[in-house]
């Protein structure tokens, strides 16, 4: 027997075990006293530091609203404050409502998670025919059909396409991954999910959301119709970000047709109710709107992301993935269920720590805002963790990211001056076609060129010569996601104009998917 080992006496061992259990229990149950005045001051300082015009924040804990307040103004240049009732577009935070609706339909036996999309939408297909034939509801809700992130968004963005027309065009989108072998965040697939809901129920996506979720939860200020914003009042204005520093008010854009992927407009007051409902696992009073099986299905990882386990990260993250309409990862040893939303001029986030019965919603009316930093700061306060200035860390990273983005500057630096088009302007005029979108028309008018998009008038532009056969696009309508753009006219060996190619630096809409061939 080792000289360093001595057996415990039975009584001593029992005392040690009981003391350890008691100590662990006390630690587990010890309540954390949160300083809400300190949180309030931190939020206020963050809003000013980031320069976002306004933001509203809600916190729920143990089934109750413990904090709800607004900071800043509804519209830059005014003094109208925002508060917990102020409306904001929540964009992709709408996806969790879509997966909840799907769960309810599964519970009612109207569909199954592993139904093939074609079972409900026979016209559905993808460029990978096998993927198109076999994609299931779970696949489209977890971004694993094989499309690239944001692929197809330029097709629906500001367009007059119906949901069915958008879905039919998915067959022309390139596959970025083999079927179920990668992650590609796909708004087009959530539009598809919304159309399945309409087909199964005979009602629109919003009619289902209102009847099944909004009305039962008394979410009376959650809508999809932009025209209702003015009627309801107390709404934040969207803002474009100019030169990464200045916020400029812009009008609301209707996302009603593609509401299943990002169309809801809501408030902190309403989303606090949504968070409480989810943290209560889909039970509302005595009504079980989501069964435990549905809750577990929606919050299970269906598409996992790699995590670098060779070095530590700020959040102690060991796993990350996507469920059905929710992002999933761990935060300092606790499951985090969350999502963000990006709309024309607004970004938002909804964040849950289910084992803490804690939720944080952050709504903002700008494109540069601390939507994750303030959630992390709040989590740490409720978990009793050491204080970290997440706002400063994220702001420094964001500013550095902006500084490192030299795509537009690089394009401008590469311009070759004193060149001329190789063709007369009349040679560039004509109709250009791409199957994924339709027709794009170039016209000569008053000694200059104009380009118009058949289904997206908001993209119409005038053209000025850049160099050789490349022209700069000057949007007739300002856009929050992109500014500088060029279009190049391609030619064959005989200098006949054959097509157009776009270069529009941004992180959300892939204009190269609109590259078209001249057909007339």
**Which pLDDT value is given to residue 267?**
98
Q: What pLDDT shows up at residue 415? A: 97
Least confident piece of the model among 6-15, 184-193, 233-242: 6-15
pLDDT at 5: 30
- pLDDT(20) > 50: no
pLDDT greater than 60 at residue 192: yes
Q: How far is 11 from 13, CA to CA, in rounded Å?
A: 5
Q: Which residues of 167-184 are buried (b: 16+ CB within 10 A; e: fewer)?
A: bebbbbbebbbebbebbb
- Calculated CA dihedral for residues 49, 357, 137, 173, nearest 10 degrees: 10
6 CB burial (10 A radius; 0-12, 13-18, 19+):
exposed
Q: Any idea of the CA torsion for 440, 446, 448, 453, to the nearest 10 degrees?
A: -20
pLDDT score of 9 more than 60:
no
Residue 268's nearest CA partner among 66, 76, 98, 101 is 66
Tokens coding 145: 């059909």
Cα radius of gyration rounded to whole Å, the chain: 26
Mean of pLDDT values over 50-56: 98
Averaged confidence pLDDT in the chain: 93
Q: What percent of the chain has pLDDT over 70?
A: 94
Rounded-to-integer distance, Cα 319 and Cα 36, Å = 31
pLDDT attached to residue 31: 81
Q: What is the 3-state secondary structure (H, E, C) of 191-242?
A: HHHHHHHHHHHCCCHHHHHHHHHHCCCCCCCCECCCHHHHHHCCECCCEEEE
Q: What is the mean pLDDT of residues 308-325?
A: 93
Which domains does the chain possess? 36-392 (3.40.710.10), 411-518 (2.40.128.50)
Identify any residues that bridge with 489 across adjacent strands, giving them in sequence order: 500
Query: Looking at the predicted structure, is the pLDDT value of residue 2 above 50?
Result: no
How would residue 468 be classed by pLDDT, with cut points 50, 70 and 90?
A: very high
Q: Which residue has the higher pLDDT, 123 or 307?
A: 123
Average pLDDT of 217-228? 96
The average pLDDT across 301-320 equals 92
Give the pair of three-digit tokens for residue 488.
Answer: 């190049």
Paired with 235 in beta bridges are: 87
Diameter over CA atoms, the chain? 101
Q: DSSP letters along 37-59, please?
A: HHHHHHHHHHHHHHT-SEEEEEE
The distance in angstroms from the start CA to the end CA of the chain is 94
CB 283 within 8 A of CB 274: no
Strand partners, 11: none
User: Token digits for 327?
Assistant: 């992002």
Read off the pLDDT of each residue in 450-465 and give the average, rounded to a whole number: 97
* Cα 98 from Cα 103, distance rounded (Å): 9
Distance from CA of residue 340 to its chain's centroid?
A: 5
pLDDT digits (tens, 9 = 90+) for 89-137: 999 999 999 999 999 999 999 999 999 999 999 999 999 999 999 999 9
Q: Are 411 and 423 in contact (CB under 8 A)?
A: no
Task: Look at residue 141 and tell me whether its pLDDT is greater than 80.
Answer: yes
Identify the helix (H) or strand (E) that includes residue 101: helix 95-107
Q: What is the pLDDT of residue 243?
A: 85
Q: Would you tell me how many other CB atoms lie within 10 Å of the CB of residue 218?
A: 11
Q: Label residue 245 by pLDDT band (50, 70, 90).
A: confident
pLDDT classification of 29: cutoffs 50, 70, 90:
low
493-500: average pLDDT = 96
Secondary structure (DSSP) of 376-426 = HHHHHHHHTPPP--HHHHHHHHHHHHHHH--HHHHHHHT---S---SS-HH
Residues 63-75 pLDDT 10s: 999 999 999 999 9
Q: Where are the beta strands (DSSP E) in 257-400?
A: 265-266, 283-284, 287-288, 303-305, 320-322, 327-331, 334-343, 346-353, 358-364
Q: pTM for this structure?
A: 0.92
Inter-residue contact 58 to 43 (CB < 8 Å)? no
- pLDDT tens for 167-189 read 999 999 999 999 999 999 999 99
Between CA 439 and CA 401 the distance in angstroms is 36
The CA angle 149-153-159, to the nearest 5 degrees, is 175
Span 403-428, pLDDT tens digits: 999 999 999 999 999 999 999 999 99
C-alpha distances out from residue 45 to 173, 387, 389, Å? 44, 15, 11
């Amino acid at each position: 027997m080792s000289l360093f080992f001595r057996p415990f006496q039975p009584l001593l061992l029992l005392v040690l075990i009981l003391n350890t259990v008691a100590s662990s229990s006390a630690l587990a149950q010890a309540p954390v006293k949160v300083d809400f005045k300190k949180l309030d001051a931190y939020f206020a300082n963050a809003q000013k530091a980031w320069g976002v015009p306004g933001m509203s924040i809600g916190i729920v804990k143990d089934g109750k609203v413990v904090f709800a307040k607004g900071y800043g103004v509804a519209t830059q240049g005014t003094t109208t404050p925002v508060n917990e009732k102020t409306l904001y577009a929540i964009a992709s935070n709408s996806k969790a409502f879509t997966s909840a609706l799907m769960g309810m339909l599964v519970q009612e036996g109207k569909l199954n998670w592993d139904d093939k999309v074609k079972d409900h939408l026979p016209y559905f297909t993808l460029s990978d025919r096998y993927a198109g034939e076999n994609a299931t509801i779970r696949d489209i809700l977890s971004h694993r059909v094989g499309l690239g992130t944001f692929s197809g968004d330029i097709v629906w963005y500001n367009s007059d396409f119906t949901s069915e027309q958008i879905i039919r065009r998915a067959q022309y989108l390139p596959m970025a991954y083999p079927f179920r072998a990668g992650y590609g965040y796909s708004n087009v697939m959530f539009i598809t999910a919304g159309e399945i809901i309409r087909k199964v129920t005979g009602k629109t996506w919003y009619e289902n959301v209102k009847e099944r979720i909004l009305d039962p939860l008394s979410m009376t200020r959650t809508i999809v119709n932009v025209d209702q914003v003015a009627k309801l009042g107390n709404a934040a204005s969207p803002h474009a970000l100019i030169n990464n520093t200045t916020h400029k008010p812009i009008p609301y854009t209707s996302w009603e047709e593609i509401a299943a992927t990002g169309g809801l407009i809501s408030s902190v007051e309403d989303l606090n109710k949504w968070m409480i409902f989810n943290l209560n696992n889909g039970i509302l009073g005595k009504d079980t709107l989501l069964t435990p099986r549905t809750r577990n299905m929606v919050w299970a990882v269906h598409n996992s992301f790699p995590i670098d386990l060779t070095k530590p990260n700020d959040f102690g993250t060991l796993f990350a993935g996507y469920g059905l309409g929710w992002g999933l990862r761990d935060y300092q040893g606790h499951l985090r269920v969350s999502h963000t939303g990006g709309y024309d001029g607004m970004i938002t986030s909804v964040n849950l720590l289910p084992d803490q019965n804690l939720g944080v919603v952050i709504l903002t009316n700008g494109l540069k805002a601390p939507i994750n930093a303030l959630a992390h700061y709040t989590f740490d306060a409720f978990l009793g963790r050491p204080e970290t200035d997440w706002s400063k860390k994220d702001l420094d990273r964001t500013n550095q990211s902006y500084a490192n983005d030299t795509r537009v500057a690089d394009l401008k630096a590469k311009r070759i001056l004193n060149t001329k088009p190789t063709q007369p302007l009349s040679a560039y005029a004509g109709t250009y076609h791409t199957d994924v979108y339709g027709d794009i028309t170039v016209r000569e008018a008053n000694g200059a060129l104009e380009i118009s998009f058949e289904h997206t008038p908001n993209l119409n532009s005038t053209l000025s010569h850049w160099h050789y056969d490349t022209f700069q696009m000057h949007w007739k309508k300002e856009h929050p996601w992109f500014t500088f753009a060029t279009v190049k006219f391609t030619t064959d060996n005989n200098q006949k104009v054959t097509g157009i190619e776009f270069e529009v630096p941004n992180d959300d809409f892939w204009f190269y998917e609109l590259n078209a061939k001249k057909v007339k």
